Amino acid sequence: MSFDIASQVLFEDNHLIIINKRPAQLVQPDNSGDDSLEEEIKLFLKQKYNKPGEAFLGVAHRLDRPVSGAVVFAKTSKALIRLNEMLKRHELQKTYWAVVKTKPPQDEGLLSQYILRNQKQNKSLVYNMPVKGSLLAELKYRLIACSDRYYLLEIDLMTGRHHQIRAQLAAMDCPIKGDVKYGFARTNPDGSICLHARKVEFVHPVSKEKMSIVAPLPDTDIWKIFRAV
């Protein structure tokens, strides 16, 4: 599977490249053998700048394969080191949009729970109290739009746990559209789930410029409903 990386670039300078990941795109190679964003971007940079060797590319953070939206990559080791430090200090703010079937019990709120990852099932379990091996997971959500069948939630991620948004929304009885792993009734036709990394905000690790990058929504019927939000 090959993608047109040039059309997905949201921002690029000497140190960073930010991509609007499409559903089904891998961020990094895995056992499937499918093309990954990491490999595709390296090839894109090599060809664009006529590099004699392989282009450097550092993966600052990841999105699950069925999720779409903004992903930040480092083009220099200096930027990668600083981005990693920023992530540890929670200085890279990520805002997500999620389409859910059920209206949440409140229009906005804070979810503060504990997540335990099940490696065998590649799934996260949510607990209201800490259990052995669990990690604190926090996010804020608010209802920003609705259609005749679905509700659009905006989510500010405060911690970055495995499948955190998917698991916590499901625990609130609001599974994300298409996410059968976490309780939605059926898959989306393209294998995606309706979770989109809508915006990233941070201070550029080298130039110190304030960055706010918005990722356009996928071109599917369900997302077209919420384009005007």
- Average pLDDT of 9-18? 97
pLDDT of residue 3: 63
Q: What is the pLDDT of residue 8?
A: 95
Is a pLDDT exceeding 50 seen at residue 151? yes
Token look-up 């130039």 returns 207
In sequence order, the β-bridge partners of residue 143 are 153
Phi, psi at 57, each rounded to 5°:
-150, 125
| Residue 1, pLDDT above cutoff 80 | no
Please compute Rg for the chain using Cα positions: 18
Model confidence at 115, pLDDT cuts 50, 70, 90, reads very high
Tell me if residue 229 falls in helix, strand or coil.
Answer: coil
Paired with 74 in beta bridges are 16, 58
Please enumerate in sequence order all residues whose Cβ is within 8 A of that of 68, keeping only pairs 6 or more positions apart, or say none.
Answer: 20, 21, 22, 23, 192, 195, 196, 197, 215, 217, 218
161-212 tens-digit pLDDT: 999 999 999 999 999 999 999 999 999 998 899 999 999 999 999 999 999 9
Mean pLDDT of the chain: 93
pLDDT value at 2 more than 60: no
Q: What percent of the chain has pLDDT over 70?
A: 99
CA distances from 23 to 61, 78, 85, 104, 170 (A): 16, 29, 28, 25, 20
Query: The dihedral of CA 171, 176, 182, 184: what is its sign?
Result: positive
Number of H helices, E strands in the chain: 4, 11
Give every CB contact of residue 56 below 8 A, 6+ residues apart in sequence.
75, 76, 77
Tens of pLDDT, residues 59-108: 988 899 999 999 999 999 999 999 999 999 989 999 999 999 999 999 99
Residue type, position 60, single letter: A
How many whole angstroms separate alpha carbon 136 and alpha carbon 128?
Answer: 10
- Is 199 in contact with 94 (CB distance < 8 Å)? yes
Task: Give the pLDDT of residue 61.
Answer: 87
DSSP string covering 5-55: GGGGEEEE-SSEEEEEEPTT-BSS--TT---BHHHHHHHHHHHHTT-SSPP
